[in-house]
Structure 1
Amino acid sequence: MALPKRTIPIGTILLQAFLILVAITQIYPLIWLAFFSLKDNSEIFSGDVANLPKQFLWSNYAKALSEGHVLTYFFNSVFVTAVSIILVLILSSMTGYAITRMNWKLSGLTLTIILLGMMVPIHAALLPLFMVLKNLGLLNSYWSLIIPYVAFGIPMAVFILGSFFRGVPRELEEAAVIDGCGIYRTFFSIILPLVRPAISTVAIFTFLSCWNELMFAVTFINKESMQTLTVGMMSMVGTYITQWGIIGAGLMITTIPTIIIYLLLNKQVQKSMIAGAVKG
C-alpha cells in the first residue's frame, strides 16, 4: 500500500527560501574577506575584487603576523577580553543573585542605579574616564581598558542574569540549606549551573563589545606594544602605500575568534533565548 505523499505548505517553502537568502547574505562578506586576504594590491585594484584569487597568497598571513605585529595585537585583545569577561561574570552574577534572591533594604534602588548604566552612551564617558585614568596613572596599561569594559558590561549582565535568577525555585535553595550548604556553596554548586545559558549569553555579549571596541582602545593606549587588534588594524593603513591584502589577512585573523566563540556557545544562547521567551 503506497503511503500518501506529504505536501509541503507554500508558506514553509517561502520561509525556508527567505532564511537561506538571509544566511547567504550573512555568510558572503566572510567569504569575500577570505578571498580578499589572499590577493595583492594589483589584483585588488584591477576590478575583480569579488572573484577568486588568481594566486592564493598565503604569505599575506605570515606578513600580517610578523611585519604587521598582528600576533602582538591579538595577544593584547585576548588578554583584555578574557579578563573583562571573567570579571563581568563574577561581579554581575554575585550582584544579580544578591539583588534578586536576598531580602535586604534598598535592593530595588540598587538594581535601578545599576541598570541606569545601560542608559549612558559608552562614549559619553570618554573624557571623564580619560581624566580619571590619567590621575590614577593607568593610561597605557591593560587596566585602562579592562576597567571601563567591566563597568559598562555589568548593567546588561545583571539584567540578564537577574531575570534568570528570579526563575529558579526557592525550594532548591531551601533544600541546600537543610543539607548544610552555606550561601557560597549554594550559589556556586546549585544556582550557577542552572543559569548556564544566561552565563553563555553574557559571555558572548561581553566578548563582542570588548573585542570590537575601538574608541577607548585608541584613546587610552598609545604604546604600540599594548594596542589591541582594532587599533592595530587601523594603524596598518599607511600614509602612502597600503598593503590591503595583508590588512585583509589581519581582519580575517580578527574575525576567526568571534566565529569560534559563537560556535562553542550558540546552543547555550539558543536555550537562553527560548527560556526568556517562555518566561515572558
Structure 2
Amino acid sequence: MKKKFSFSKFTVRLVLIVNTVFVVLPLLWSVLTSLKTSTEFYDNPWKMPSGFHIQNYINAIGKANMGDYFINSIFVTILGLILSLTFSIASAYVLSRYEFRFRNFIKKVYLIGLFLPPIFGLVPLFMLLKDIGLYDSLIGLSMVYAFTAIPYTTFILSSYFTSIPKEYEEAAIIDGCSYFGLLLKIMVPIARPAILTVSIFNIMAFWNEYMYSLTYISSEAKRTLPIGLINLMEVQRYSTDWGALFAGLVIVMLPTIIVYAILQKHITSGLTVGGLKG
C-alpha cells in the first residue's frame, strides 16, 4: 500500500534539511580552514586543504595561550556547576516538598531572577567582588556563574521534585532515614534526569559566557576561552595567521559540540522536564 504524500511533513523535512545545511557548513568550513596555511586561505578560502597543518593548533595553544585559557574555562565551568547544583538542589527540594512561612515569596524571588537581564547585575556584582577580594579571581567568576544560574536550575528541579510521590519519603523516614539522607539517597537519584538536563545547559552557558568574564577578569593568565578567542582574533588580524585563528575557534567550539552530540537525547527530552512532570 502506497503512502499518501503529506505536504506538511515534506515542508517540515525540507526546513530541517535547509537548517542543517546552514548549521553544518560553517562548522565544517571552520574545521577545514583551521588545517590550511595562510597562503592557501588567501589563494582560495573555499578550497580543500592540501594537508593537515597541525601547526595551526600548536600556534594557537602555545603562542596564543589558548591552552591556558582552555584550562581556566574547565575550572570555572566545573566549579560553577558544582556550586549551582549544590545550592539549587537543596533549595528546590525545600521549596517543593515543605510548607513554611514566606515560601511563596521566596519562589517569586526565584521567578523574578529568571527574567532579569544579566546586565542588571553587572555593576553590583563587580562592587561585591571588589569588596570581598574576589575580583580578578577564577573562584569569584565561578561563584558569579553559579549564582546567576541558581534561579533557572531551582525552577526546573523544583518542578521535578514536586512530581515525585511522597510515599518514597514516608517509607524512608519510617526506615530511620534523616532529612539530609532523604535528599541524597532518595530524591537526588530519582531526579537524576532533571539534574542531568540542567547540568548540560549550565555547562554550555558557563563555557560560552563572555560578559562576566570580560568584566571580572583583568589578568591575561586568568582569561577564559571566549575572551582568549577575541584576543587571538586581534593578534592574528595583524599577523595574518588565519589558520591559527580558526584553530582557536575550533578549540572553543569542539567541547560544546561533543557534549551536545553525546547527550543530545537528554537535552531534547529535558526541554519538557517540569512541563510534563510539574
TM over 0.5: yes
Over the matched positions of the two proteins, sequence identity in percent amounts to 36
* Code of the aligned partner of 2:254: I
Query: Do structure 1's residue 80 and structure 2's residue 76 form an aligned pair?
Result: yes
Does structure 1 retain, via aligned residues, the 8 Å contact 2:80–2:146?
A: yes
Aligned residue number for residue 30 of structure 2: 33
Structure 1 residue 91 displacement after superposition = 0.8
Q: Does 1:268 align with 2:275?
A: no
Question: How has the CA–CA distance of structure 1 residues 275 and 183 changed in structure 2, closer, same or farther, with 3 Å as cutoff?
Answer: same
Q: Give the structure 2 partner of residue 18 of structure 1.
A: 15
Could you report, residue by residue, the CA deviation over 1:217-259 in whole angstroms, capped at 9, with x for unpaired residues? Answer: 1222121211111111111222732422101111111111112
Deviation at 1:148, TM superposition (A): 1.3
User: How far apart in 2 are the matches of 1:263 and 1:197?
Assistant: 17
Tell me how far apart the structure 2 counterparts of residues 267 and 255 of structure 1 sit (CA, whole Å).
Answer: 20
Task: Give 1:249's aligned residue.
Answer: 247
Deviation (angstroms), 1:5: 5.0
Q: Secondary structure at the match of 1:45?
A: helix
1:124–1:244 Cα change, 3 Å? farther
2:111 partner SS: helix
Q: Distance in 2 between matches of 1:276 and 1:99?
A: 14
Retained in 1: the 8 A contact 2:159–2:277? no
* 8 Å contact kept, 2:160–2:191: yes
Per-residue CA distance 1:46-89 (angstroms, 9 max, x = gap): 3x323322343221011111111111000000000000011111
Moved more, 230-239 or 64-73: 230-239
Q: Structure 2: which amino acid aligns with 1:159?
A: F
Match of 1:231 in 2: 227
Whole-Å Cα distance in 2 between the matches of residues 257 and 38 of structure 1?
18
**8 Å contact kept, 1:200–1:265:** no
SS at match of 2:177: coil
* Letter paired with 2:71: F
* Alpha carbons 1:85, 1:206 under 8 Å: kept: yes
TM-score, with length taken from structure 2: 0.91
Runs of 5+ consecutive residues of structure 2 not aligned to the other structure: none
Q: Distance in 2 between matches of 1:203 and 1:137?
A: 28
Report deviation, 1:26: 2.0
Aligned to 1:169: 165
Give the distance between the partners of 1:269 and 1:19, measured in 2 at CA. Answer: 18
* Structure 2 letter corresponding to 1:18: V
* 1:110 has 2:111 as partner: no
Question: Do residues 120 (structure 1) and 116 (structure 2) align?
Answer: yes
For 1:153-189, what per-residue CA distance to the aligned partner results, in whole angstroms no more than 9, with x for missing partners? 0000011111111111111211221222221222112
- What's the TM-score once normalised by structure 1's chain length? 0.90
The answer as to whether partners of 2:160 and 2:277 remain within 8 angstroms in 1 is no
Q: Is the 8 A contact 1:39 1:56 kept in 2?
A: yes
User: Are the aligned partners of 2:157 and 2:274 in contact in 1 as well (CA < 8 Å)?
Assistant: no
Distance in 1 (CA, whole Å) between partners of 2:218 and 2:272 is 43
For 1:70, which of 45, 49, 66 is the aligned residue?
66
Question: How far did residue 7 of structure 1 move?
Answer: 5.4
Post-superposition Cα deviations, 1:199-233, rounded to whole Å, max 9, x if no partner, equal: 12211221122111112212221212111111111
Return 188-197 or 159-168, whichever deviates more: 188-197
Amino acid at match of 1:248: F
RMSD of aligned residue pairs (Cα, Å): 2.0
**Partner of 2:276 in structure 1?**
278
* Number of corresponding residues: 276
- 1:152-191 matches, cutoff 5 A: 152-191=148-187
Distance 1:61 1:200, change over 3 A: same
Provide the rounded CA distance (Å) in 2 between the counterparts of 1:263 and 1:185. Answer: 34
